[in-house]
Amino acid sequence: MALNSKIPAGPLDKKWETYKSTCKLVNPANKRQLEIIVVGTGLAGASAAASLGEMGYKVKAFCFQDSPRRAHSIAAQGGINAAKNYQNDGDSTYRLFYDTIKGGDYRAREGNVHRLAEVSANIIDQCVAQGVPFAREYGGLLSNRSFGGTQVQRTFYAAGQTGQQLLIGAYQGLERQISLGTVTMYNRHEMLEVVKIDGKARGIIARDLVTGELERHFGHAVLLCTGGYGNVFYLSTNAMGSNATAVWKAHKQGAYFGNPCFTQIHPTCIPVSGDHQSKLTLMSESLRNDGRIWVPKKQADTRKAFDIPEEERDYYLERRYPAFGNLVPRDVASRAAKERCDAGYGVGSSKMAVYLDFASAIERYGKVEAHKQGKSNADKATIYAMGKDVVKEKYGNLFEMYEKITGENPYEIPMRIYPAVHYTMGGLWVDYELMTNIPGLYALGEANFSDHGANRLGASALMQGLADGYFVIPYTLGNNLADDIRTKSIPTDHPAFVAAEKEVSDRINKLMSIKGKESVESFHKRLGKIMWDKCGMGRNAKGLKEAIEEIKALRKEFWSNVRIPGEIKEFNTELDKAGRVADFMELGELMCMDALNRQESCGGHFREESQTEEGEALRDDEKYMYVSAWEFKGESQFEMHKEDLVYDVVHPSARSYK
């Protein structure tokens, strides 16, 4: 099947405008007859379900958590980008578009990204109208801050809890539609299969996680808004429940998987403290504005941080990238930290961490403060106390969180940080209308592959999730459903539903019947280790080939030796997890295959064979300027389709931060 991205013709800045004014519409009476299934209630899912409900569609929304408000969008800290140019610093739709394309290392579609930049401003308007309490200036207008990879201040924020505030805004909109009866909510439900009838997605099989019963749900269209798959790595900044099951089931039903190997590793996370570790916690990117990153110059140095004199410290980012210093993009900072730790310079008990030190920032701010207060002869202790107050005001909540987790006071001892898996740019392949190659099946937000190329810029995930849900899908869904208004609801005793349910039920029975020795958690940890070691920050052909074999072997072992206690027809978290881990083990293999195929380094994907003499990433636009869209052909069999990326407006160039 040829990939048709359906990008509208015409100049870049008119494409979306033209699409909106020419797309087909569905009249209100017909909307009431059309049923839409939305899986996932994060920013993309909640905003889509609420908006479609408002428009009059009959919506069913599903989430595996106990409430739609728990989706992991809630954990986003930093902010949301929008090309408002409120700061009069030269921002524009084009600049946001350009920064996003460049930040993605030229592996995203121009058309999609430009649309994202266009609707970004509407998102802020919409959120403010809903009552999202963004940070404000004393004049009462909205405040902005800057984020990595940009030269303007376009990030809107609500302290360090922007994701929470945006999600609650969308959740409230969703609850309003629930109360009006346009949306029916299914909490603690997990989607386990896509039902296809005559080649179109027409429903899902979901499992009620409380009773364990399987349910059939019909929909004229199915929207997957189920987030990313970072938990393939076991340890990530994702929530414990974040999973790839919905997109993986869709993939196995024929939906192509786009760029599965593109994973973002965030440089500033609290390091692993031991084998017991269940997840990793992010320390906001904003800390790199003031913190200096260093390791000792001596290998395996066991002295305490403050015992190491200045001249024996290696501020390696400042040394390697004098132009950007500690503010290089996420992928670059992450790789540099790994390089130092691998070479034996790491700190902390695990030796897999580097210092993020605020001592000089405290001193600098302290001096400024002392000067402001006219105390030019202030002693060191006074300056320190004053500087500490300034740092506390800026980053207090993050420092507190760090102290809760590590038990160390980051004002006194430098923070220890290490990179961790954070976001997946890859996802289901979708066209301009956010539809996968299965008609009627859509993917929104992090679940699709579309807008971030090979690396996502900070504060862009929230933007994309809400853009897809509030402003894109309401148009594109109507355009497709306009041809479906004569399709009556299909009863769920249709053979396709029966067969799909049987498939799901057989798989669950099979899992339960293994009755082996090893826990699901243990398999997940082992998978994570393979993925992190061989398909993590640095990848090479040998490692990837090994990883593929190891994953196959692990999968075989899983299906013969996993132990799942409890029953099927009850609340059984081990069973839920087993299904997810089983899917991760298949997806992990595909990620390695994609990484093996892409013999270039771009964005978060670093192939060790493809680097410059100084160890920097080397892109290969000649051979790899395409989206790899993988088709499932059977166990361990995937066929790659290429969607060539055409740049009409932007001219790809090498990224340098020296």
Partner 1 sequence: MEHYNMNLTLKVWKQKNCKEKGKFETFQVSNISSEMSFLEMFDILNEQLVAEGKEPIAFDHDCREGICGMCSMYINGRPHGPWHQTTTCQLHMREYKDGDTIVVEPWRANSFPVIKDLVVDRTAFDRIIAAGGYISVNTGNAQDANCLPIDKQKADESFAAASCIGCGACVAACPNASAMLFVSAKVSHLALLPQGDPERKMRASNMVKQMDIEGFGSCTNIGACEAECPKGISLENIARLNREYIGAMFSGSKEG
Active site residues: 330
- Residue of 300, 405, 498, 553 that binds partner 1 (CB under 8 A): 405
Q: CB-wise, 146 or 236, nearer to partner 1?
A: 236
CA distance 369 to 189: 54
Q: CB-wise, 325 or 516, nearer to partner 1?
A: 516
- Residue of 172, 289, 360, 611 that binds partner 1 (CB under 8 A): 172
Q: Mask of contacts with partner 1, 263-302, x by CB under 8 A?
A: ----------xx-xxxx-xx--------------------
CA distance 444 to 40: 10
CA distance 245 to 252: 10
Task: Kindly state whether residue 385 participates in binding partner 1, applying the rule CB under 8 A.
Answer: no
Please say whether the beta carbons of 347 and 295 come within 8 A. yes
How far is C-alpha 514 from the chain's CA centre? 33
CA distances from 484 to 23, 35, 284, 293 (A): 14, 11, 45, 57
Among residues 134, 420, 127, 458, which one has the least CA distance to residue 269? 420
Task: Kindly state whether residue 161 participates in binding partner 1, applying the rule CB under 8 A.
Answer: yes
Please say whether the beta carbons of 481 and 221 come within 8 A. yes
How far is C-alpha 208 from the chain's CA centre? 26
Please give the residues from 114 up to 143 whose contact with partner 1 meets the rule CB under 8 A: 122, 124-131, 133-142
Task: Kindly state whether residue 566 participates in binding partner 1, applying the rule CB under 8 A.
Answer: yes
- Residue of 145, 176, 394, 545 that binds partner 1 (CB under 8 A): 176
Q: Shortest gap between Cβ of 412 and partner 1 (angstroms)?
A: 11
Q: Shortest gap between Cβ of 279 and partner 1 (angstroms)?
A: 5
CA distances from 167 to 4, 56, 235, 237, 537 (A): 32, 22, 24, 18, 30
According to DSSP, the residues that pair with 331 across neighbouring strands are none
Please give the residues from 588 up to 607 whose contact with partner 1 meets the rule CB under 8 A: none
Residues contacting 118, CB < 8 A, separation 6+: 13, 16, 93
Strand 214-218, strand 292-296: pairing: unpaired
Task: Kindly state whether residue 434 participates in binding partner 1, applying the rule CB under 8 A.
Answer: no
- Residue of 252, 364, 563, 641 that binds partner 1 (CB under 8 A): 563
Task: Kindly state whether residue 66 participates in binding partner 1, applying the rule CB under 8 A.
Answer: yes
Length of the chain measured in residues: 658
Residue with tokens 């933007």: 463
Render 505-555 in DSSP notation, one character per residue: HHHHHHHHHH--SEEHHHHHHHHHHHHHHHHSSSB-HHHHHHHHHHHHHHH
Which amino acid is present at 530? I
Q: Shortest gap between Cβ of 301 and partner 1 (angstroms)?
A: 19
Q: CB-wise, 523 or 630, nearer to partner 1?
A: 523
Q: CB-wise, 489 or 519, nearer to partner 1?
A: 519
- Residue of 343, 565, 635, 647 that binds partner 1 (CB under 8 A): 565
- Residue of 91, 175, 193, 616 that binds partner 1 (CB under 8 A): 175
Q: Which DSSP category does 451 fall into? A: S
Q: Mask of contacts with partner 1, 9-48, x by CB under 8 A?
A: --------------------------------------x-
Task: Kindly state whether residue 7 participates in binding partner 1, applying the rule CB under 8 A.
Answer: no
Measure CA of the first residue to CA of the last residue in the chain; give whole Å. 43
Please say whether the beta carbons of 285 and 147 come within 8 A. yes
b/e per residue 397-417 (b: at least 16 CB within 10 A): ebbebbeeebeeebbeebbbb
- Residue of 50, 287, 383, 578 that binds partner 1 (CB under 8 A): 50
Please give the residues from 315 up to 374 whose contact with partner 1 meets the rule CB under 8 A: 349
Cα torsion angle, 460, 462, 467, 468, sign:
positive
Q: CB-wise, 307 or 622, nearer to partner 1?
A: 307
* 191 φ, ψ (degrees, to nearest 5): -75, 130
Q: Shortest gap between Cβ of 388 and partner 1 (angstroms)?
A: 20
Please give the residues from 78 up to 97 whose contact with partner 1 meets the rule CB under 8 A: 84, 86
CA distance 245 to 428: 12
Task: Kindly state whether residue 67 participates in binding partner 1, applying the rule CB under 8 A.
Answer: yes
Please give the residues from 212 up to 251 whose contact with partner 1 meets the rule CB under 8 A: 237, 239-241
Task: Kindly state whether residue 637 participates in binding partner 1, applying the rule CB under 8 A.
Answer: no
Q: Mask of contacts with partner 1, 501-530, x by CB under 8 A?
A: ------------------x-xx--------
- Residue of 471, 606, 630, 632 that binds partner 1 (CB under 8 A): 471
Q: Shortest gap between Cβ of 558 and partner 1 (angstroms)?
A: 14
Q: CB-wise, 281 or 540, nearer to partner 1?
A: 281
3-state secondary structure at position 50:
helix
Q: CB-wise, 176 or 552, nearer to partner 1?
A: 176
- Residue of 408, 533, 620, 631 that binds partner 1 (CB under 8 A): 408
Selected range binding partner 1 among 6-14, 314-322, 505-513, 565-573, rule: CB under 8 A: 565-573
Q: CB-wise, 48 or 333, nearer to partner 1?
A: 48
Among residues 415, 96, 482, 106, which one has the least CA distance to residue 281? 415
- Residue of 87, 187, 289, 360 that binds partner 1 (CB under 8 A): 187
Residue with tokens 């004053």: 386
Count of residues that bind partner 1 according to CB under 8 A: 84
Task: Kindly state whether residue 568 participates in binding partner 1, applying the rule CB under 8 A.
Answer: no
Q: CB-wise, 140 or 491, nearer to partner 1?
A: 140
- Residue of 164, 259, 284, 476 that binds partner 1 (CB under 8 A): 164
Q: CB-wise, 442 or 630, nearer to partner 1?
A: 442
Q: CB-wise, 116 or 544, nearer to partner 1?
A: 116
b/e per residue 293-317 (b: at least 16 CB within 10 A): bbbbeeeebeeebeebeeeebbbbb
